[in-house]
Amino acid sequence: MGLAVPPELERYAREHTDPLHPLLEELERYTRERVALPQMLSGRTVGRLLHLLCLLSGARRVLEVGTYTGYASLCMALALPEDGRLVTVEKNEEFARVARTFFKRAPWGKKIELKLADARELLPKLGSGSFDFIFVDADKRSYPFYYEEGLRLLKKGGLMVFDNALWGGEVLNPKDERAAAVAEVNERARSDERTEALLLTVRDGLLVVKKVLE
Ligand SMILES: C[S@@+](CC[C@H](N)C(=O)[O-])C[C@H]1O[C@@H](n2cnc3c(N)ncnc32)[C@H](O)[C@@H]1O
């Protein structure tokens, strides 16, 4: 995970962002101390932004691709109405186990359904137009696949957000398959007549895509 701004500014941004809930602070600490690859956790600024986007867009049905320990799932689910639902997909059993433990403890955790599966196999089985909001945060090589599947799964007017859209700056001069896949989605989103794109320099970059045409 790279940072679009210097680390001290990233820290400043975090310190000037209110925590959403004490359980999320605990999950972040737990992940840092007890789980492999803690740098994968999205964190407070991205989590708050996703929360706000779900809230302001009035999302009721949310899909997340790549749960890890469930930080962003909990942030987004907290923004949903009582009858709202969030489906999150994770292929790693150990990460899914930690996420489920925290979902059980969250008073709003009942809104979350975790599917232990490979998203590349699961997404094609889900119905078209069944989500208002999608957060993609899994294997970068599959970003072009998630982009097309995501557009199919989104309702018209819905939003899709891709994490790591700047990929540590490598999108400027992609040298491997992952950087090329991330850059390809950034290009597609801006030239696709079905979408409107906004690339934010938050943390490692967030590409926000609005579906404007079927
Ligand atoms: C960057 S982490 C997700 C971080 C999480 N969204 C958060 O807010 O903390 C990426 C996760 O995607 C999972 N993943 C990667 N490829 C996947 C796939 N094809 N299907 C399902 N999960 C996948 C990884 O195991 C990892 O837990």
Residues 39-97: tens digit of each pLDDT? 999 999 999 999 999 999 999 999 999 999 999 999 999 999 999 999 999 999 999 99
**Is the pLDDT score of 2 beyond 90?**
no
21 pLDDT more than 90: yes
Q: Is the CB of 146 under 6 A from ligand 1?
A: no
Note the CATH architecture for domain 7-211: 3-Layer(aba) Sandwich (3.40)
pTM here?
0.98
**Rounded mean pLDDT of 7-25?**
96
Taking CA atoms, 24 is separated from 41, 51, 171, in Å, by 11, 13, 31
Q: CA geometry: angle at 69 spanning 163 and 135, to 5°?
A: 30
Nearest to 88 by CA among 107, 62, 106, 110: 62
The pLDDT value recorded for residue 130 is 95
Average of per-residue pLDDT across 132-153: 98
So what's the pLDDT on residue 77? 98
**CA atoms within 13 A of residue 172's CA, in its CB half-sphere:** 4
* pLDDT, position 72: 98
Q: If you average pLDDT over every residue of the chain, what do you get?
A: 97
Q: Where are the domains of the chain?
A: 7-211
Q: Ligand 1 pocket check: which of 91, 93, 94, 123 to mutate, most ligand atoms within 8 Å of Cβ?
A: 91
Question: How would residue 214 be classed by pLDDT, with cut points 50, 70 and 90?
Answer: confident
Ligand 1 geometric centre to CA of 43 (Å): 14
Cβ–ligand 1 contact at 138 (below 6 Å): yes
Does 162 have pLDDT greater than 80? yes
5: pLDDT strictly greater than 90: no
pLDDT of residue 3: 87
Q: In percent, how much of the chain has pLDDT > 70?
A: 100
Identity at 129, one-letter amino acid code: G
- Is 28 near ligand 1, meaning CB less than 6 Å away? no
